[in-house]
Structure 1
Amino acid sequence: TVTGLPAVPPAPPPPRRAPAAQEDPYAPLGLRLGSVVLRPALTNSVGYDNNPQRTAAPTRNASPFSRHEGEVDIQSNWNVHELTGRLRAGYSEFYRDREASRPDGEGNLQLRLDASRDTRILLETRARLDTQRPGSPDLTAAVVGRPLVYQYGASAGVTHDINRLQMTLRGSVDRSDYEDGKLSNGGIVSQRDRNQTQYGLRLRAAYEVTPGFRPFVQGEVDTRDFDQAIDSSGYRRSSNGLTGRIGSTVEISRQLTGEVSVGYQDRKYDDARLRNLKGLIGDAAIIWSPTPLTTVTLRGTSELGDTTIAGSSGTTARRVALEVAHALRRNLTVTAFGSFNRTEYEGQGLREDSSSIGARLDYKLTRTVSIRASFTHERLNSSAQGSDYTANVAQVGLRLQF
């Protein structure tokens, strides 16, 4: 029948749904323990180090080595509250220089308790195991092997949001213990005068100008209490510190994020013969992803530290590290890295400049199995005679992650 009206057009097809982001086929699935996901990994490597003890004569103790490392990442999947953490432990065994064999490790656990919509309780515990190289300026004699350093601590705090203003109060306690050094004649170099406990209280106020720009101001007081009131050189090393800092978290886009801060610290010692240790401090951590396949990470820090060298109040340490990772394929990543550290001992004219450059290759065979290979060149230039060294380390290993 002809009505004189135009034909009704067919209904348009339904809009296409955007394709879901493709899951990384090489990412570990993790092990679920209730509502907590664990991502454990084991890495076993073999390699060659031409200077395991980091001495001025590297050819005397060049050695093949094996390295064994285990780690686990922890992430909760709760509706409220959150638990995160990472634990890592490793051991390097040198076959031609047994005294250079050493353990290392670090870990932290963070628990956030949501007391209300605007108030959160923050709890953290941390630990680190490291060793000292035989030529360290804080070792007063030539020791055999590498003395252990134990560092561990905890903190508790509360953060509260007032509209765009966020206030955080945090208290902490940290402990450092140093193992005695062993001499070749069987004697002992005591390091008990370096053992200390540090107590700190920090207040931070941050204001969210935009979702990607949150400047902050921070103040902190701390006390470092040494076990021995007087060290082996006759100085009273316990001290009180006062630190002020300003900075901001930055998220210009998903491609550029980070946090930068700068401040000033003044540390006063119990011993009047030690001048106040003061100066600029700062931290920077910036991650830039110019393309989906490339990630550039820049980190830097400036801090004031302790020493037991007679007549020196402490150290000023500045560090910068750059890492560029590029994925040649979804399962093949090449990473180039470099770092530079400068440590100056106040009042002694002693300075150490250390640097390293290297490259790493990660080839993922499956979600579970991957191959890792790396090469690193290290160098130390010191104003102390006979302390300079170079080291080259090459290794290849198999990594299992679950």
Structure 2
Amino acid sequence: MKRLWILLLAVAFLSACQQDQQLDVQGRKFQNPKYEPTCLIDELEANPAAYHRSGSSNGMAFKDGPIISEKYLTDANDLALQLATVFPVAQFSKDMVLIIADDFGAAHNGGKSVYRVSPEIYKLDFANFGDPLMPAAAYDAMDAYFKNLLQTGQNSHGAQVLTLSLDLFSSLGATLQGMTDDQVRLELNGYTVVLRALEVGGMNTAQIKTALETTINSYKALGYEDMVVNMSWTLEFCKAVAKFRRSKANSFDKYLTATPPGIGPGDPLYDYLNAEDNRHIVYLAAAGNYGGNQPRQPGLMPQVISTSAQFAGTNVLALFSNSGEVMLDGAYLRLRDPYNRNKVGQEANAALLVGTSYSAPANAIASLLDLGSSPLKCGFDDSGPRLAHGSYSNPSLAAAVSTYCP
């Protein structure tokens, strides 16, 4: 056992409103007086965030105390081996695009997106943030520190997801071909893989739909056919979240009980992801960090593959994780710096990632390896991606492929 301060960089919190009747945290029905397809709240306002003391891109957690076992620590090398065992890189034979639709901090940073993780995160002396026996004080200090990084353009949830995704590709043997702030081009087994960072923070579902559609169409125009979209966030009902936020943690269970799991037909994003002519694209989402027995939206949508999180190397669902259709390591992942993008080098590993936000990227890359391979193992059937099977039993990637991909 080793004493560690755990940097909890959990799923970003996007919140949703519907026109229909909804429930507040006391279970009362009310009408949304003004139609908003979805309204998003600042992830910093959803405090305390999901699963009691879980945080967001600026959070620190002591849910189980600051003592964890070394056996639960892992990194992209271990995850990449799991992926390559199921989808061998040697069979990858197609140029592909991975779109990372996430909160890149524009809503917190004067409209400017943040695509890199600050080197300051890798240099933190966590002992400066309070006595480990006083988790609340330490949490507040770390929360303030990360809020400052976010608001000064030195960090974002999306930057962390992008960094982890790049680390996975590096561990799979991909070489860097070039990068800008919002796009990285890699070569894997002789073929091009483009990672595109897409800002959706602060958007409603109509705007997210438009951003996705525009970006996807732009790559189609360049000749890319199949694509994968990773969405490491959940949608919540904004009015209920607002009440939850005001009433603090003592209403957390009431919030989960009172709010439906998400949106349905008629919502712009739901209709777009489930459109018939859009089913050749694989969408993946974080299941959520609420500890529920099914994913939150968008992971609950029929065409979206939901990803739950396990304690690394255990095949045991992490306590914070919602259930999903595929389970991969989500606690605790070292945040390294592939291709020296964040100017600290690949060996930097001080920060640890925790949450379904960080199990989802591995699942997205698994789908990319599948779609880019010949022959396909999973791909699609008449109703959509085979791994969007609707049974939230948390199978491992290998078990899910064996069961649902004939």
TM-score normalised according to structure 1 size: 0.32
Larger Rg: 1
Greater helix share, structure number: 2
Greater strand share, structure number: 1
TM-score normalised according to structure 2 size: 0.32
